[in-house]
Amino acid sequence: MSLTLKFTKHILKFKFDAGTSRGVLKTKDAWIIKVYDSNLPKVYGLGEVSTIERLSFDYSVDFETELQELSDALRQETLPQTLEDVFELVRNVVSVYRPAIRFGLETALLDLFHGGKFKIFDNDFYQAEKGIPINGLIWMGEKEFMKQQIDEKLKEGFKCIKLKIGAIDFDTECDLLKYIRSQYSADQLTLRVDANGAFVTQDVLKKLDRLVEFDLHSIEQPIMPKQPEAMALVCEKSKVPIALDEELIGVFGKREKTELLKDIKPHYIILKPSLVGGFVATTEWIEIAEAQGIGWWITSALESNIGLNAICQFTAQYEYEGHQGLGTGQLFENNIHSPLAIQGQEIVFNQTLSWDYGDLKFN
């Protein structure tokens, strides 16, 4: 008996031009992997290798070649018998410098380990007994487009909204925040913003001072990553709580993670499993952050529903009272149909719905 891995590229198409401070996204590459015991090909696990151009540590990798090499390596392996052995196998066959592949292989093996039923972790979320509160995501664009998104999210019942900022005029963005606060107080609506590193270090504190009036929960990555001294100063001086996001990408060792958080002292960190290296790596970040009294939440990174399902089930392993960032599955016109659904401000696993990935053709 040995493990067989097959894969296929799936180009996700956005329903609209998704604007960020790094540019506009129209498509998103993903590789769906399928793993099974060579003697039992009808029972298989699926995972997703997901990257974002110019953001993922490994976005420029030749995934066709690397996934074929991984397939060759797995022929020497058998299905692990424990969860710990699953993670050990992934560590042994995938370099730490391939975080997206680690995430995808962890997911596929965990799915296979649980019988190929899209069960990654057995908890209340998978059993459809409990949903996960999420923030409503507002994409950058013209003022009216952003206002339309805001109104829709509020009407749908979201109690936490996150706005992408930094791509249009800052005064216009402040007008939008002012509009939201004129409708809902901080007690009624939690408001987060994400700058994706768009502010320059010379005037970031001035902009953060202006944002104070909007009672923000936090701002993600106000300046570009890899400026530890500048970011530490921002975290110390800002009256708006700072959350690190892109800052965590490419930081792999436990000592390196610990020192980064000790040096910068952020209020929060935001964890994207497919960008930081999978579930083991995400768990390590959480343990380090909690030891230092730093808050955290988990966010998807524009995965298809295969990756999003895995991240939701992982997130449900934790008791967390705030809002997670797990609502991006509705962005794509050709997403893989799944039981994931948005009900009010929660993402749920609706077991009356089914998976449909019949168009995927594996190598």
For the chain, which domains are there? 3-113 (3.30.390.10), 132-349 (3.20.20.120)
What pLDDT score was predicted for residue 221? Answer: 96
Number of other CB atoms surrounding residue 223 within 10 Å: 21
239 catalytic? Reply is no
What pLDDT score was predicted for residue 140? Answer: 73
Residue with tokens 């031009």: 17
Q: Which of 28, 34, 153, 272 is catalytic?
A: 272
Could you tell me the two tokens for 72? 């060759």
Query: For 266-279, what is the mean pLDDT?
Result: 97
What pLDDT score was predicted for residue 297? Answer: 97
Query: Is the confidence at residue 284, as pLDDT, over 60?
Result: yes
- Quote the mean pLDDT of the chain: 92
Query: Is the confidence at residue 26, as pLDDT, over 90?
Result: no
Compute the distance between CA of residue 106 and CA of residue 122 in angstroms, rounded to an integer.
15
272 catalytic? Reply is yes
What pLDDT score was predicted for residue 39? Answer: 92
Per residue in 240-267, is it b (16+ CB within 10 Å) or e — as a string? bebbbbbbbbbbbeeeebbebbeebebb
Q: Which of 34, 119, 153, 164 is catalytic?
A: 164
pLDDT tier at 22, thresholds 50, 70, 90: low
Against a cut of 0.75, is the pTM above it? yes
Query: For 140-146, what is the mean pLDDT?
Result: 78
Query: Is the confidence at residue 119, as pLDDT, over 60?
Result: yes
Summarised one tens digit per residue, pLDDT across range 28-67 is 899 999 999 999 999 999 999 999 888 899 999 999 999 9
Give the least confident one: 174-178, 241-245, 323-327, 329-333: 329-333
